Amino acid sequence: MGNRRVIFILLGGIAACLALLWCADLRDVQFAERARNASVLVGHPLAALDRLVVERGDLYVEVRRQRHGWEMHAPFAAQVDQGAVARLLDAIEGARVSDTIRFSEMKHRDLALKDFGFAPPAARLTLQGGGWATTLLIGAPTPTGREVFVRDVNSEAIWSVPAEVASLLPAAVDEWRLRDIATSDRARLRVMEIKAPGRPFIRLSKETGTWRLLQPVDGPADDRKVDALLDALYAAKAVRFAWPSVRNLTDLLATESALKSRMEVYGLGADVALQVTVQEAAGAEPSRIVFGNRSDGEDALRYVLMPGGNTVAAVSNAVFEAFQCTPSDLRDTRLFSESPERVKRLKVGQGAALFVLSQNDALWQMESPVAMRMDTGRFTAALKQFLSLTAETLSEQTDDRMLPEGFALLPFETQVELQTDANARAMAFIAEDAARQSYRVEMADTPVAYHVAASNVPPAFLDGAAMLDLCDKTVLSLTNDAIRRVTVKRPDGTAESVQREGGAAPDWRAVGEAREVDADALGAFIKTMSALAVERFELPLAVQAALVPSRYSIVTVPLPDYGLKSPWLEITLGVDAADAIRKTLIIGAEAHDGGRHATIRGQDIVFVLQPETVAVLHRPLLKE
């Protein structure tokens, strides 16, 4: 009898186990079916969402979608951090239900809502779109901490979803408030205004692609300096919010005079505050940022009225300091914006003397006062240095030019004109001191005078001799085959003449006498004359005469003749060349450095030959 009872008990236990296994399988099948139907937390398209409410204890935040994005509607109107709302909606849209527990199962397992953190819920989230609304209750984290319990108020189920859904909900109103001080699209900015008590009103425009000062004076602005201001403005973030806040909600119902008084407490009155206004393309709504007093007890922070005029925050005082600028601080201190390759023609006038240069196919040529090739590499480097000039200070131009103390004559003045394919710019370099260590540069198209150090100006643009130094110093360039005859008249009145005969292996012979040609001396002579290089150029006599200030001085400065009227040595070459059949080199008086002055007949330029060159040319070509 006892054994039969034991057998019945065992059979009953087996049946119970089978029932439990069957129920478990049935639950798995039901969960799989529910998972297919409820794997998405919210079944509505969130792109159509236009209202979002978060309730969390005493916290109530309501945001609504407007034409330009989300805006805070409660507990007060404020701008919203679009990214914070977007991250929450992305988390909700991407959340997948990993487990579901129905109320019937909770009752069977003797569980209540409080066991899942719903009595009361940790937060309440309401989503509302066109024609639909969903309210989600956020409960406690799951035992693993990686998920959180959530339920829809219209559903008899509790879901497990990623914990990110709960972690992205704001714990305070300020967490969703926009902290950017500047909200306009920086890339589209066209106007910026700076208004500060006791300083000139500044207005800048970027209609032409670069920033330009329009007020208080018209002139180019330094893009780098303006961009530095915008960098500071757009990088600034609100450290904390002063008004409105949940602590001063009653202020929102205050009278206009009461609000004006509060703004004055923050130092945001129109007469005492720094105001920065930025505007996008013409017709767009301006955005104004107003900086006030230092924050109470926080010297590193300053109050700011953010765009829209409905939020006062505290920001780093460094932003305010960056805008403590004057119009001169923002002016472009560069004299030019042209690049060397764009300059096609250049005029440099010193008194009545005028140097004219032109560029063709990247090669520079002097046209006046003499026609000469420039050493393009050296001249381009000087031009590049000239175009990169930056003023040390700026000032307003004046109609009266006072003579600097210590000047006996009018201040030395150089006129420069740059011509490009598009336009021409003329300017004057006026010495500001007797030693000419500083120059004031005035341009016809700007009321600003630029003050530059003479050491920064390439000498060629202030001194004609330095300009000539940039010319190509090879004054003769012939092939050996081009020289057919050589005649040398020496200081003692004698002359030597040799003539070339033959073709590939030429034979040189003396003309008019039976002496033998010195092959070594003639070879060195031909090599030197074929590529005759000079030490330096002298200013043309016409230029020197133009520079002599005889009008303002009782002293007449004599012009040198360089000993060329009675040559020390005269060399005539008979050549086969496209431009001439004869080249005559005239060598005159000795220069101070041991070389000799010389010129090529038919040219208006005097140069100095090195002593070594003179020695080769003076050497007898015929043997004794």
Q: What is the pLDDT of residues 204-237, one digit of tens each?
A: 999 888 999 999 888 889 999 999 999 999 999 9
Given a cut of 70, whether residue 623 has pLDDT beyond it is: yes
Question: Three-class SS of residue 597?
Answer: strand
Given a cut of 60, whether residue 24 has pLDDT beyond it is: no
DSSP secondary structure code for residue 412 in this structure: P
What are the angstrom distances between the C-alpha of 35 and each of 140, 162, 404? Answer: 21, 15, 93
Pairing of strands 202-205, 191-195: antiparallel
- Rounded CA gap, 611 and 613, in Å? 5
**507-510 β-sheet, strand order:** 507-510, 495-501, 483-489, 569-575, 582-590, 596-600, 606-609, 536-538
- How many helices and strands (H and E) does the chain possess? 13, 37
User: For 330-343, what is each residue's pLDDT tens digit?
Assistant: 988 888 888 899 99
- Rounded CA gap, 202 and 327, in Å? 6
> For tokens 């000079």, what's the residue?
534
Average pLDDT over residues 69-78: 93
Average pLDDT over residues 615-620: 94
**More confident call, 558 vs 556:** 558
Average pLDDT over residues 303-328: 93
Average pLDDT over residues 465-478: 92
Average pLDDT over residues 21-33: 46
- Rounded CA gap, 502 and 188, in Å? 77
Confidence label for 410 from pLDDT (cuts 50, 70 and 90): very low
pLDDT of residue 27: 44
Given a cut of 90, whether residue 254 has pLDDT beyond it is: no
Given a cut of 70, whether residue 551 has pLDDT beyond it is: no
Half-sphere exposure of 477 (CA within 13 A, CB side): 6
Provide the mean pLDDT of the chain. 86
Average pLDDT over residues 555-577: 82
- Rounded CA gap, 231 and 280, in Å? 16
Confidence label for 93 from pLDDT (cuts 50, 70 and 90): very high
- Per-range mean pLDDT, top range of 268-272, 354-358, 412-416: 354-358
In this structure, of 273-277, 295-299, 609-613, the range with the lowest mean pLDDT score is: 295-299
What are the angstrom distances between the C-alpha of 461 and each of 370, 414, 575? Answer: 17, 8, 37
CA 374 to chain centre: 33
In this structure, of 341-350, 498-507, 589-598, 607-616, the range with the lowest mean pLDDT score is: 498-507
Given a cut of 50, whether residue 370 has pLDDT beyond it is: yes
pLDDT of residue 45: 87
User: What stretch of H or E contains 327?
Assistant: helix 327-330
User: For 152-181, what is each residue's pLDDT tens digit?
Assistant: 999 889 999 999 999 999 999 999 999 999
Q: Which two tokens mark 218?
A: 């018209």
Average pLDDT over residues 407-411: 41
**More confident call, 409 vs 288:** 288
Given a cut of 90, whether residue 277 has pLDDT beyond it is: yes
